[in-house]
């Protein structure tokens, strides 16, 4: 990854930081791209004010973030930029390029908390009710959709799965998440059934032209290679439309639905955190708001003093 828009002496430290995140920390291409975009945007805005990243002051950074805010950048975008900048400066300190992090005390507006969209349990049943026995792509898609909802996978985690990661006899799947962290997840009965059917059909999508790196891929495309994130998104949209859900469904909504429905049933926030692979409990706590919405609906419909006449 390069940052050609920046002057070389600004771009080189960023490139070294990105290389570190990629090779030492195992960050995903999406995260690396986001960090690169944020730091490039900041560098382009600031390089005319001073000579390098290492002499920028806290006041200069604060003024620039204020300019970003006045230009219409959202609180969430500012938060992402600040996070990338803090991480970059922590790396710079570890390399002894400077001694203090000028981004540590940036004052930012709080991002609005938006609740993740989810499907109701009835909508999940509607989505997964299609017949998959006579169509290899439908068979594959049902296995993917069932696994998304059964185990709460991220899209990148699902497409990266290989055959050895699936342990159907143990009802488990091994997933490699953010930062190359592995976790084992349970696979539910319906997902196991759909996966067994897919494994019978899967060899038909293997061929002599299948890349060696994709021979073990759990999910294959009609091009006889590992299915891509874009193709998965397209298939999820296809089945949402086909099954009459009438909304823009994306794979992450199945993960959100998994988390919310599990929390409604169990009330175990820590357990949901472990299953989702969240490093911090605060990331998982957004689902408690969804759970409260569910409880409020139950209260309104069931409590004697709340029911509408």
Residue 108 maps to a domain: no
Confidence of residue 307 (pLDDT cuts 50, 70, 90): very low
227 with 139, same domain: the answer is yes
Boundary (domain end) residue, out of 246, 274, 294: 246
> Rounded to an integer, what distance in angstroms lies between the CA atom of residue 123 and that of residue 134?
24
**288 pLDDT exceeds 90?**
no
- The mean per-residue pLDDT over the stretch 97-109 comes to 88
Residue that terminates a domain, selected from 192, 220, 246: 246
Q: Which residue has the higher pLDDT, 301 or 188?
A: 188
Please indicate, yes or no, if residue 106 is contained in any of the structural domains: no
Q: Does residue 128 form part of some domain?
A: yes
Please indicate, yes or no, whether residues 27 and 127 belong to a single structural domain of this protein: no
Residue that finishes a domain, picked among 227, 246, 265: 246
Number of residues that this document lists for the chain: 309
Question: Burial level of 192, CB count in 10 A (0-12/13-18/19+)?
Answer: buried
Q: What is the CATH number of the domain that holds 160?
A: 1.10.443.10
What's the whole-number mean pLDDT along residues 276-286? 52
100 domain residue, yes or no: no
Walk across the sheet containing 172-176 and list its strands. Answer: 166-167, 172-176, 182-186
The pTM is what?
0.57
Query: What is the total count of domains within the chain?
Result: 2
Q: State the residue range of the domain holding 50.
A: 8-94
Q: Is the pLDDT of residue 280 over 60?
A: no
Contact (Cβ atoms closer than 8 angstroms) between residue 87 and residue 103: no
CATH number at residue 13: 1.10.150.130
C-alpha triplet 20, 26, 31: angle, nearest 5°:
85
Provide the H-helix boundaries in the chain. 8-23, 29-46, 58-70, 75-94, 121-127, 136-151, 155-159, 189-201, 229-242, 251-266, 269-276, 281-284, 286-302
Same domain, 140 and 85: no
Q: Between β-strands 172-176 and 182-186, what pairing exists: parallel, antiparallel or unpaired?
A: antiparallel
Residue 80's pLDDT band (cuts 50, 70, 90): confident
**Over the chain, what is the mean pLDDT?**
83
Q: What confidence tens digit (pLDDT) does each residue in 239-272 have?
A: 999 999 877 888 888 888 887 777 666 655 566 6
- Please list the active-site residues: 154, 178, 252, 255, 278, 287
């Amino acid at each position: 990854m390069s940052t050609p828009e920046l002057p070389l002496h600004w771009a080189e430290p960023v490139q070294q930081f990105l290389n570190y995140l990629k090779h030492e920390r195992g960050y995903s291409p999406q995260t690396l791209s986001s960090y690169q975009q944020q730091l490039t945007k900041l560098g382009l805005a600031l390089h005319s004010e001073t000579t390098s990243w290492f002499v920028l002051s806290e006041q200069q950074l604060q003024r620039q973030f204020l300019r970003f805010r006045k230009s219409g950048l959202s609180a969430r975008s500012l938060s992402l930029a600040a996070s990338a900048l803090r991480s970059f400066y922590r790396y710079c300190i570890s390399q002894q390029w400077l001694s203090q992090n000028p981004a540590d005390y940036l004052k930012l507006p709080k991002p609005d908390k938006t609740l993740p969209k989810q499907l109701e349990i009835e909508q999940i049943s509607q989505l997964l009710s299609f017949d998959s026995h006579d169509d290899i792509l439908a068979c594959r898609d049902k296995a993917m959709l069932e696994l998304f909802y059964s185990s709460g996978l991220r899209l990148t985690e699902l497409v990266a799965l290989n055959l050895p990661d699936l342990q159907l006899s143990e009802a488990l799947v091994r997933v490699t998440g953010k930062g190359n962290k592995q976790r084992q997840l349970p696979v539910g009965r319906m997902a196991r059934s759909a996966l067994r059917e897919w494994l019978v059909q899967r060899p038909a999508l293997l061929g002599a032209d299948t890349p060696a790196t994709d021979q073990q891929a759990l999910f294959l495309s009609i091009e006889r290679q590992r299915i891509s994130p874009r193709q998965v998104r397209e298939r999820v949209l296809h089945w949402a439309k086909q099954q009459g859900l009438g909304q823009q469904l994306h794979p992450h909504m199945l993960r959100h639905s998994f988390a919310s429905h599990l929390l409604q049933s169990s009330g175990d926030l820590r357990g949901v955190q472990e299953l989702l692979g969240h490093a911090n409990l605060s990331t998982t706590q957004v689902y408690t708001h969804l759970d409260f919405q569910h409880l409020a609906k139950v209260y309104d419909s069931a409590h004697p003093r709340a029911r509408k006449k």
